Amino acid sequence: MTESVPVRCPACRREQSFTPPTFPCPCGAPLTLSVPRDGTPEEIEHRTWQDIWVAVDCPACGRQGHWPQPEFGCGCGAVIRVPVAGVSEAPGDDQEGEPAARPAFRPVTIRTARDAVTAAAQYLRWLGFGCLRRLDDPGAAGVDLYGKGVVAQVDPTTRPTGLREVECLWLNGLNESALSVFFSLAGYAREARARADALHIPLFIMDLTGTPQPVNDPADTLIRCGPPRG
């Protein structure tokens, strides 16, 4: 079990326990990001592509991988970036001042409905959304994932996602002043696709490898431009 470390919020100075995330290296070994106890957390006021990733070598195979920068939402409302030990090279800007390209997405194989939600969460983090949390009872709210500026629903069933599900997610996003993003394993009914286009809801379809693919223009725009600002 990964040991938690104390992290002090730089905004309210409250100390809380943080469990470093673990990711699967392509070699098969689990890679847990090392959070130093004497590190200095930073409040996130503006997120850019290059500072949502850290480059860390796998201790098992030595391969360098880019992983999501650990962060958490404090109860005071601040979003905190947690430092990582052993960072070998942080992705930087190019000479034109444009953000560096995102590293390749690392899919999560889908075997269960829970895996589908995990894959969607991983993809949203890859796109640049942070502080994602999973609901214990998503069926009651019509939302599987909440994050900073985003709500997402994942339909793991074998039937195309219908109009009602898309509209329900849109209403949740409207209520949270957040972007609504939908993931489906079986695609979308024609009327659901049309309504999502009209409401500018990004739609993605996932196969069992856990790799989402965009199926409408809002999804293409989200991939190209990242999370909306403001």
Distance of CA 201 to the CA centre of its chain: 17
- Encode pLDDT of 38-74 as tens digits: 888 888 876 665 566 778 888 888 777 777 788 888 8
- Encode pLDDT of 125-157 as tens digits: 999 888 888 876 655 567 899 988 999 999 999
Nearest to residue 122, comparing CAs of 225, 5, 206, 59?
Answer: 206
For residue 224, the model assigns a pLDDT of 85
Helix, strand, coil % in the chain, rounded to nearest 5: 25, 25, 50
For residue 165, what pLDDT band results from cuts at 50, 70 and 90? very high
- The pTM assigned to this predicted structure is 0.60
For residue 136, the model assigns a pLDDT of 67
Q: For residue 174, how many other CB atoms are within 10 A of its CB? A: 12
Nearest to residue 9, comparing CAs of 60, 63, 102, 76?
Answer: 76
The tokens describing 125, both together, are 């983090």
Contacts of 81 (CB under 8 A, 6+ apart): 41, 42, 43, 44, 51, 69, 70, 71
Q: What distance in Å separates the CA atoms of residue 97 and residue 218, rounded to the nearest whole number?
A: 26
Q: Return the H-helix or E-strand segment holding 20.
A: none
For residue 193, what pLDDT band results from cuts at 50, 70 and 90? very high
Q: Taking 50 as the threshold, does the pLDDT of residue 97 lie above it?
A: no
- Encode pLDDT of 116-126 as tens digits: 999 999 999 99
